[in-house]
Amino acid sequence: MSPELFTPPALDSGTLRIIPLGGIGEIGRNMTVFEIDGKLLIIDCGVLFPEETQPGVDLILPDFEPIRDRLDDIIAVVLTHGHEDHIGAVPYLLRMRQDIPILGSSLTLAFIEAKLKEHRIQPFTHLVREGQVEKLGPFTLEFIAVNHSIPDALAIVVQTAGGTVLHTGDFKMDQLPLDDRITDLRAIARWGETGVDLVLSDSTNADVPGFTALERDIGPVLENVIARAPRRVIVASFSSHVHRVQQVLDAAHANGRKVALMGRSMVRNMTIAADLGFLNVPDDLLIDHKKAANLPDDKIVYMSTGSQGEPMAVLARMANLEHQIEIGHGDTVILASSLIPGNENAVYRVINGLMKLGAKVVHKGTSRVHVSGHASAGELLYFYNVLHPTNVMPVHGEQRHLVANAELAIATGVPEKNVIVGENGTVVDLRDGVASVVGQLDIGFVYVDGSTVGEITDADLKDRRILAEEGFISIFVAMDAQTGKVVVGPEIHARGFAPDEAIFDDVKPQIVKALAEAAANGTRDSHAFSQVVRRVVGRWVNTQHRRRPMIVPVVIEA
């Protein structure tokens, strides 16, 4: 159910306003706007990937409408880490104002700079590190190291006259991370002592009991799977999952195999990570995928994109026999990632396709080839007990995740009245330690479809779903508008409805009769005649065939 909309009051001086424009009630398009004394600060600006019910859509952006007329008030965009659901929409924001400063860690900035280069945007970036403090107008920011499934992730403390907010970004508490960079609990405890008025906390795994497994647990499993594979190995993961790629490289090296990176984003991101020292690549391990075909099948590992079943990604094209690598008996495919909610059908379709071709498919459900990058319930309890926040607003998760996170906060002693389970567009004001919901904005989906942004509407997607599921019927009629006599037609053509168009012979006399009656009743407008045809055909299709295709009538005067 959509929240009741109500306009927030004018913002008082010295009060901090927080508005999430994405990332609440969904896994993706994370973006939160902070406002105080006429200035705006944005944390993260990511994309959401489309579901099957959004055919043709490439990406979904946060709704920029609430800030569209205030671009000059934006002091900076601060990025917590380099995943697409946190940085992917930055190019679309910078199209509106290119000189907005972008703050982030070294790997995060390298990823976003490469992405912006593809959009032909030269950004103004500023490197920050954990422990660093930055003063940006009325905002003072401190950056805290947190552990995630990508290196160099940061939590951000935002200090203002209205209060202090801790935004966790995505985080977990892996105590033996691959890069030895743990979540800085000492800094979090220090802020707990100082006092945090509001925490915006990652909710993705809030409904998962216990603690998230260690990244180091994955390495031996991958090494064992690769060791037992008789032929080629294809590993699919996110193109930004540096830790997982590192483990695949190590496992392949231990088994005497070369690695070929597949997919433009995978090659780009891993090249960046290696150049910055976040990815350790043994000498002569990587090989161009074109040369990999010359190696024996048991001497190669392909590292690809497509772990979420994306139709244009490498793995899906392999499953559909649309890739130069033809999957066959004896090949092993490893899906080294979690399922993003909404992608289950697409992923299982790819798995089934690969298995039909004879491949062995290993995934999280059958073997520990992936662990999450998000804190489970045990870690969140620990986090709340260390921080002791006054108010809590769960973010980054579907409704079930947000509610579970809220319940954890309450269990640790945060008063229930101080826990806000909001929606995208929920307006929260913070002053003197009190966080209050003061408004609810109408936040929509902004669809990227090819080169168009925001032009595709929900109505357009409904039409696409009808076309895909129910088919299309067009009817052409030429008639004498004065008498209602049909001169040409009705000519009926269909796509995706019935193989034999003779099926429409039954409805054609009904169309002729209805047009004559409409003319006799004084109808003269061709649009009105078209509506008559639409009603007749729609009623016939629904009653006789239980279908609701798209119906396009064309009636012209002879």
CATH code of the domain containing 181: 3.60.15.10
For residues 468 and 418, what is the distance between their CA atoms, to the nearest angstrom?
46
Question: What is the tens place of the pLDDT at every residue in 19-68?
Answer: 999 999 999 899 999 999 999 999 999 998 766 565 566 678 899 999 99
Buried b / exposed e over 143-154, threshold 16 CB at 10 Å, is bbbbbbbbbbbb
Measured in degrees and rounded to the nearest 5, phi and psi for residue 512 equal: -60, -45
Type of residue at 313: A
Q: Which of 389, 408, 441 is the last residue of a domain?
A: 441
Q: In terms of C-beta density within 10 A (0-12 exposed, 13-18 middle, 19 or more buried), how is residue 526 classed?
A: middle
Secondary structure element (H or E) that encloses residue 19, with its range: strand 16-22
Which tokens sit at 267?
């090659």
Which CATH number covers residue 269? 3.40.50.10710
> CB within 8 A of 290, min separation 6: which ones?
none
Listed in order, strand segments (DSSP E) in 186-315 are: 198-202, 233-236, 258-261, 300-304
On whether the CB atoms of residues 308 and 343 are closer than 8 A, the answer is: yes
CB proximity list for 401: less than 8 A, separation 6 or greater: 203, 204, 205, 206, 207, 394
Q: 106-118 and 264-275 are packed helices; what angle lies between their axes, rounded to 10 degrees?
A: 140
- Residues 249, 320, single domain; the answer is yes
- Co-location of 291 and 411 in the same domain: no
Distance (Å, rounded) from C-alpha 495 to C-alpha 470?
9
Q: Is the domain of 418 the same as that of 337?
A: no
- Looking at residue 259, what is its pLDDT? 95
In terms of phi and psi (left: phi > 0; alpha: psi -120 to 50; beta: otherwise), the region of 196 is beta
Q: What is the pLDDT of residue 136?
A: 97
One-letter identity of residue 127: L
In a domain, residue 452? The reply is no
513 within domain boundaries: yes
- Burial of 317-338, coded b for 16+ CB within 10 Å and e otherwise, reads bbbeeebebebeeebbbbbbbb
Residue among 137, 131, 65 nearest 101 (CA): 137
Q: What is the mean pLDDT of each run of 10 residues along the chain (558 residues)?
A: 78 96 93 97 90 65 93 97 94 94 97 92 95 97 96 97 97 93 96 97 96 92 93 89 92 95 90 94 90 90 79 76 85 82 75 89 82 94 97 96 98 97 96 95 81 63 59 82 76 73 80 81 78 84 77 80
Q: Which of 340, 362, 384 is the last residue of a domain?
A: 362
Q: Look at residue 2 and tell me if it is in a domain.
A: no
Are 73 and 196 in a shared domain? yes
161 and 128 share a domain? yes
Span 362-412, pLDDT tens digits = 887 778 888 889 999 999 999 999 999 999 999 999 999 999 999 999 999
Domain limit, last residue, from 318, 338, 362: 362
Is residue 424 a contact partner of residue 408, using CB atoms and an 8 Å limit? no
pLDDT at 19: 97
Distance of CA 171 to the CA centre of its chain: 17
- Cα 247 to Cα 111, 170, 279: the distances in Å are 20, 21, 10
351 and 387 assigned to the same domain: no
- Please tell me the distance from the alpha carbon of residue 244 to that of residue 279, in angstroms, as a whole number: 10
Cα(204)–Cα(306) distance, integer angstroms = 21
44 located within any domain: yes
Task: Tell me 26's DSSP state.
Answer: B
Q: C-alpha dihedral over 334, 338, 342, 348, to 10 degrees?
A: 20
Is residue 505 located within the same domain as residue 537?
yes
Instruction: For residue 123, give Cα distances in angstroms to 15, 150, 164, 251, 332.
Output: 30, 22, 29, 37, 42
Q: Both 293 and 249 in a single domain?
A: yes
In a domain, 446, yes or no: no
Does 57 fall in a domain?
A: yes
- Answer yes or no: is 278 within a domain: yes
Count of domains in the chain?
Answer: 3
* Whether 431 and 465 share a structural domain: no
What is the spatial distance between Cα 199 and Cα 265, in angstroms, rounded to a whole number? Answer: 33
Same domain, 378 and 429: yes
- Domain CATH code at residue 496: 3.10.20.580
483 within some domain: yes
Residues 110 and 228 grouped into a single domain = no
**Which residues are paired to 302 by β-bridges?**
234, 260
Please answer whether residues 391 and 406 qualify as being in contact, where contact means their C-beta atoms are separated by less than 8 angstroms. Answer: no
- Do 186 and 108 have their domain in common? yes
CA distance readout (Å), 208 to 113, 345, 405, 461: 35, 22, 10, 34
User: Can you give the pLDDT at residue 1?
Assistant: 45
Range of the domain at 222: 215-362
